[in-house]
Amino acid sequence: MCTQKPPHDYSEQLYGKYRDAFNKYINDKVLPALREHREEVLLKELYSRWGNHKLMVRWLSRFFNYLDRYYVLRHSLHPLKDVGLLCFKDLVYVEIKKRTKDAVLLLVEKEREGELIDRALVKNILGIFIELGMSNMDCYEKDFEEYLLTETSAFYRRKASEWIEQDSCPDYMLKAEECLRLEEERVENYLHASTKAKLLKEVENELLSNYEQRLLTKEHSGCAALLKDDKTEDLARMYRLFQRIPKGLDPVADIFKEHVDNEGMKLVKEVTEAVELAKEKQAKAGPSRDTGTSAEQQYVRAVIDLHDKYLAYVSTCFCNSSLFHKSLKEAFENFVNKSVAGSSSAELMASFCDNLLKKGGSEKLSDEAIEETLEKVVKLLAYVSDKDMFAEFYRKKLSRRLLQDKSASDDHERSLLSRLKQQCGAQFTSKMEGMVTDLQLAKEKQQHFDDWLKDKGKKLSIDLSVTVLTTGFWPTYKSIEVALPREMVEGVEVYRSYYDSDSKHRKLTWIYTLGTAVLRGNFDSKPIEMQMNTLQAALCMLLNDVDELSYNEVQERLRLPDDDLQRLLHSLVCAKYKIIKKEPDGKTISKSDKFSFNNRFTDKMRRIKIPLPPLDEKKKVMEDVDKDRRYAIDAAIVRIMKSRKVLQHQTLVMEVIQQLQRMFKPDLKLIKKRIEDLIQREYLERDKDNPTLFKYLA
């Protein structure tokens, strides 16, 4: 039939008859059967008829395979298989697609309401939509998916409006999470994979996007309430849900930041009130040696605990999200840089570290716990804007620990310095590392001095130990010229001759205020050993030669200024240990007083330590920091101008701030002042035509 030459070639008629056979069968058998059914029964009948139709197509297309191989190719017609499918599409699909779609959507809604449905049937019916698309998804998308998405949106809009009124935030989120899980399951069970993203977007939009603000700010159960009540599971769920929607986490992060900031400010307020209360109670007491009172120590510990708590929230509930790390950082930066009872956090952290590292500190911790706490303090330091202030306070306290042998462990000292170096750079810790090294060298120097004395056959009337320090590393100390007793003068002269012979071109400056001496007081009841400052010892030894001295005589012999002398006398005459008595008796020192050895003094201990009233170091530290900042700003301006040659005022200020903000937050007025100063010193000049333009002068 198909291999004869025209007019005996019946390929065209056969191809037409093939199509007609399908059309007749569909019109006579398939359509009448489908028209009498509705809903699920319709779907079952449709699936059955579709199966039969595919079988018919498969066999008929095989019978007339010759047409496919020659006639169809030569005339660019539809293959036989496609003709069969197109017949079904044009006659059956076009007529029943709406009823089929409605039936499927009804089953989907029933399942959403909790009923059991025939999932396999739905999957098979949707398979028909996909197959009839003939290698594209048009039928499935236009005739079913669009309606499914509209229905889904409407369904969840109804549900959300009910739930938001009656449920708490955690209950609502549980329902939303379950709905999203079920929709994903639905896609896996019978919908096409391409529907997943679109379907979930509709659900997320109705359940989450539209009600986000209301949900997060719900009274007694919103995000702030969950944070307050430490509901970590609910917070983790909140993160999982709202990360699905664009910018959904921004409001959560803002609430988190505000909550942490409020908690921090509450701490600041509590400590400030506690310190004020303590000050009122101790109004008559003298100044304390350390700025870190117990309330302030507890503040740093509380801030560490607060940081641990919310850092754990960020890592567990919020999956280490950079957005929440940023919120945590901003919240801590805000309250950590507030003044706490007149002290900065930098100062309090330095005091806290001092308390951890010195012998007899109030923090009794194991070595591991100390290391862990120091690491946490260094992490907190990242939030402090005045890192140079911390460095200066810490250096002061480190010097006191080292020189008075109060450091509990060299390992801990070095460990903290290495952590600070890692966090803030080598320049930050260079002086402190120099101090620790200095002390090691000083011990070796002392041993060398002892050997030198033996070699020279010299013997001092007193035991002398000297700690030689490098000026650049240590805080600046006031050098007081004092007339020492002859026993001490001998030791100083011998050491000076040793040092000159050992170290050429180096000058020794003696800081007697940092020295200590041990004297034996031969009192009537018993002899007592007294550990005291070198200047206190010099004063006491004056009374070895005379029974009584007036204020002026003491001043004449020691050659000390009034302020220092009054401090010394007060510590020996009016404080806890009254080893010198005065005429007339009283609690203050006046220039008309006379002083003599108190032979009746006694104490239950055989060895006592007589402290010198402390100076207020805070003011000195602040002055040093201000001075260093001026130098740092000058150096930064010159560095920038040297490389750029010409620069606008605003750009210069911004670059200076950028360079220095790792150590401290430069004040704009101070930068302006330093620029003026450098212009006067002829490092820079203003442009003649444009006063906001600066030029570098080489």
Q: Which tens digit of pLDDT belongs to each residue from 149-197? A: 999 999 999 999 999 998 999 999 999 999 999 999 999 998 889 999 9
Q: Looking at the structure, do residues 161 and 283 belong to the same domain, yes or no? A: no
Region of poorest pLDDT, from 6-10, 278-282, 332-336, 680-684 = 6-10
Residue 256 main-chain phi, psi, to 5 deg? -60, -45
Question: Nearest CA to 624 among 349, 401, 347, 357?
Answer: 347
Query: Which of residues 374, 398, 430 is at a domain's end?
Result: 430
Residue 614 main-chain phi, psi, to 5 deg? -75, 150
Q: Looking at the structure, do residues 342 and 458 belong to the same domain, yes or no? A: no
Q: Which pLDDT band holds residue 5 (cuts at 50, 70, 90)?
A: low
User: Residue 211: is its pLDDT beyond 60?
Assistant: yes
pLDDT value of position 288: 46
Residues 6+ away with beta carbon under 8 Å from 173: 215, 234, 237, 238, 241
Q: Looking at the structure, do residues 382 and 254 belong to the same domain, yes or no? A: yes
User: Residue 61: is its pLDDT beyond 80?
Assistant: no
Q: Looking at the structure, do residues 64 and 85 belong to the same domain, yes or no? A: yes
Q: Which pLDDT band holds residue 665 (cuts at 50, 70, 90)?
A: confident
Q: What CA–CA distance (Å, rounded) separates 276 from 273?
A: 5
- What pairing do the DSSP bridges indicate for beta strands 527-533 and 607-609? parallel
Q: Which tens digit of pLDDT belongs to each residue from 339-387? A: 887 788 888 888 888 888 888 766 677 888 888 999 999 999 989 888 8
Contact 565, 555 (CB under 8 A): yes
pLDDT value of position 205: 92
Q: Which pLDDT band holds residue 303 (cuts at 50, 70, 90)?
A: very high
Q: Which pLDDT band holds residue 78 (cuts at 50, 70, 90)?
A: low
Q: Which tens digit of pLDDT belongs to each residue from 412-429? A: 888 989 988 888 888 888
Q: What CA–CA distance (Å, rounded) separates 368 from 498?
A: 44
Contact 435, 473 (CB under 8 A): yes
82 or 688, which is more confident? 688
Q: Name the strand (E) or helix (H) holding 161.
A: helix 146-166
Q: Based on the structure, what is the number of domains in the chain?
A: 5
pLDDT value of position 571: 86
Q: Looking at the structure, do residues 106 and 195 belong to the same domain, yes or no? A: yes
In a domain, 375, yes or no: yes
pLDDT value of position 183: 92
Share of the chain above pLDDT 90, in %: 21
User: Residue 286: is its pLDDT beyond 60?
Assistant: no
pLDDT value of position 287: 45
DSSP letters of 213-267? Answer: HHHHT-TTTSHHHHHHTT-HHHHHHHHHHHTTSTTTHHHHHHHHHHHHHHHHHHH
364 to 369, 399, 408, 450, 495: CA distances (angstroms): 9, 22, 11, 37, 40
Q: Residue 482's domain spans which residues?
A: 440-512
pLDDT value of position 629: 83
In a domain, 403, yes or no: yes
pLDDT value of position 590: 81
Q: Which one-letter amino acid corresponds to residue 406?
A: K
pLDDT value of position 387: 86
Q: Looking at the structure, do residues 388 and 444 belong to the same domain, yes or no? A: no
Residues 6+ away with beta carbon under 8 Å from 223: 169, 216, 217, 235, 238, 251, 252, 255, 256
* Paired tokens of 198: 């679109």
Q: Looking at the structure, do residues 289 and 423 belong to the same domain, yes or no? A: yes
Q: Which one-letter amino acid corresponds to residue 159?
A: K
In a domain, 380, yes or no: yes
In a domain, 2, yes or no: no
pLDDT value of position 151: 93
pLDDT value of position 243: 92
Query: Which of residues 563, 588, 615 is at a domain's end?
Result: 615
Average pLDDT over residues 596-604: 86
Q: Looking at the structure, do residues 534 and 480 belong to the same domain, yes or no? A: no
Q: What CA–CA distance (Å, rounded) separates 103 from 596?
A: 113
Region of poorest pLDDT, from 134-143, 287-296, 626-635 = 287-296
Contact 596, 573 (CB under 8 A): no
pLDDT value of position 291: 43
Question: Nearest CA to 641 among 581, 601, 609, 681?
Answer: 681
Handedness of CA 404, 409, 410, 414 (dihedral sign): negative
pLDDT value of position 316: 92
Q: Looking at the structure, do residues 362 and 495 belong to the same domain, yes or no? A: no
In a domain, 233, yes or no: no
Query: Which of residues 430, 457, 491 is at a domain's end?
Result: 430
Q: What CA–CA distance (Å, rounded) separates 147 from 202?
A: 12
pLDDT value of position 149: 93
Q: What is the CATH number of the domain that holds 499?
A: 4.10.1030.10
DSSP state of 14: H
Q: Which tens digit of pLDDT belongs to each residue from 540-595? A: 888 888 888 888 888 888 888 888 888 888 888 888 888 888 887 777 888 888 88
Q: Looking at the structure, do residues 339 and 401 belong to the same domain, yes or no? A: yes
Q: Looking at the structure, do residues 631 and 578 belong to the same domain, yes or no? A: no
Q: Which tens digit of pLDDT belongs to each residue from 330-345? A: 999 998 988 887 788 8
In a domain, 529, yes or no: yes
Q: What CA–CA distance (Å, rounded) separates 495 from 632?
A: 38
Q: What is the CATH number of the domain that holds 522?
A: 3.30.230.130
In a domain, 230, yes or no: no
Average pLDDT over residues 76-100: 74
Q: What CA–CA distance (Å, rounded) separates 37 from 22?
A: 22
Average pLDDT over residues 613-631: 76
pLDDT value of position 647: 87
pLDDT value of position 616: 64
User: Residue 80: is its pLDDT beyond 60?
Assistant: no
pLDDT value of position 264: 92
Q: What is the CATH number of the domain that holds 655?
A: 1.10.10.10
User: Residue 655: is its pLDDT beyond 70?
Assistant: yes
Q: What is the CATH number of the domain that holds 84?
A: 1.20.1310.10
User: Residue 25: is its pLDDT beyond 60?
Assistant: yes
In a domain, 239, yes or no: no
Average pLDDT over residues 92-108: 86
Q: Looking at the structure, do residues 558 and 502 belong to the same domain, yes or no? A: no
20 or 326, which is more confident? 326
Best mean pLDDT range from 37-46, 78-87, 428-437, 561-570? 428-437
**Average pLDDT of the chain to the nearest whole number:** 84
Q: Which pLDDT band holds residue 13 (cuts at 50, 70, 90)?
A: low
